[in-house]
Structures are given as structure tokens and as C-alpha cells.
Chain A
């Protein structure tokens, strides 16, 4: 799996958009970008994934740059319950997920 680089921590004001960056400059053509989050003491929760097109679901949007070397997870209206560690993972078919240290997002009232 390609390595990913994320900032260790970020703050976001409640109600504002949270933009979480991820760098994956060595990603190869058949690797997908996945995002998970882990709320304190709970198991990781799947958020979204994509290959090269931008993706949106009920939780978040995923913006992948044209060269696929970086991506941004967007939580459009962050709430206190979005406070968690967010993991960016790149993975190709048949490989297992490799979770790095992630970004600790704190949503502030």
C-alpha cells in the first residue's frame, strides 16, 4: 500500500466545514482512497472511498486531485459528534487495510 501523510490534529468550529487533507504522493493507478473514523473507544467506522472521481454520500465528500497524489475529506457541517480520529488509507484489491496514526479532529463549540 502507498503511504499516506495526514496532519496529527486539527480543530474545527461547530457548524463549519471540516476539511481533512491527506497526501498519498506514491499512489498507484489501481489503488483506492478510503476514509474511516474512530470515535473514542469505538471501532473504526467507514466513511467513504474513491478512485479518481470526487465522491459524496450522506456523511461526507471526498475530493481527489487530478494527479491523485492527495485528497481531502470534507464534513460539510461539523458537529460535536464528529470529534474523532480520521484515517486516510490507500489500498488496492486483495490487500488488507493499513491504518496509520490518522488526524485527530476536535470540533469545538
Chain B
């Protein structure tokens, strides 16, 4: 069982380019999440999805979009990357989006926008 996988592991991207970060889980979890982590700011929620077909905005959604066409995949797209989006991105999932359910995190994608 792989758990949560993210791709790519790292990426250097020119400003203005479009980029999609991939996230796949094989645990049949209903809820999935995208966070970014920046030095001194901790993890901040970008977008989330409580179940396939639904998405919601987190704390820092601007410049990012997500889709949830099925249970397993939750891609994060940067339509036109900017240097302030340089960060480490973590995808997470949980059984349900409820109080009892812990989140499981992927290994992260390190993105540098030049």
C-alpha cells in the first residue's frame, strides 16, 4: 500500500508557466487537502475536498485551483506561477472530514518559481 503519493518530488518553474502538482491516495479516503509550507509560517491550507465532486477554499486559495473528479486524485494547478508560490506543497487525506479523523500526509513537492 503506497498511501499518498505526490509528483513531482521537486520542480523549478519559470514565472508565468502553468503547473499541476499531482496527488494520489489509495486508501479510499473521502477527504483530501492541499497545504503549503513556508519557513516561519507553518503549514497553511490552500484547498480541500470533503468528497469526490466537491472542493472548498482554505486559508490561502488565491492563484491555485483544484479538482476532484474521483476519490483517489486531487491535483493542484497553478495557472500562472509567480515567485511567491515558491514553497513546499503537501497533500493530505482523511477518512472523513470530521473531528475523529486524523490526516495522513504525502512526502511533499518542493516548487521553485523563478
User: Interface on A for B, CB 8 Å cutoff?
Assistant: 30, 32, 34, 41-46, 49, 87, 91-94, 96-102
A91 close to B102 (CB less than 8 A): no
Within 8 Å of chain A (Cβ to Cβ): is B48? yes
Task: Report the minimal beta-carbon distance from B87 to chain A, rounded to whole angstroms.
Answer: 14
With both chains docked as a complex, state the minimum distance between the C-beta of A102 and any C-beta of chain B, in angstroms: 7
Distance (whole angstroms) from the CB of A45 to the closest CB of chain B: 7
Q: Told that A46-B104, A49-B102 touch, could you supply 15 new A-B pairs with CB distance under 8 A?
A: A30-B99, A32-B99, A42-B108, A43-B90, A43-B108, A46-B102, A46-B103, A93-B98, A94-B97, A94-B99, A96-B33, A97-B43, A98-B45, A99-B44, A102-B42
* Structural contact, B42 and A45, CB atoms closer than 8 A: no
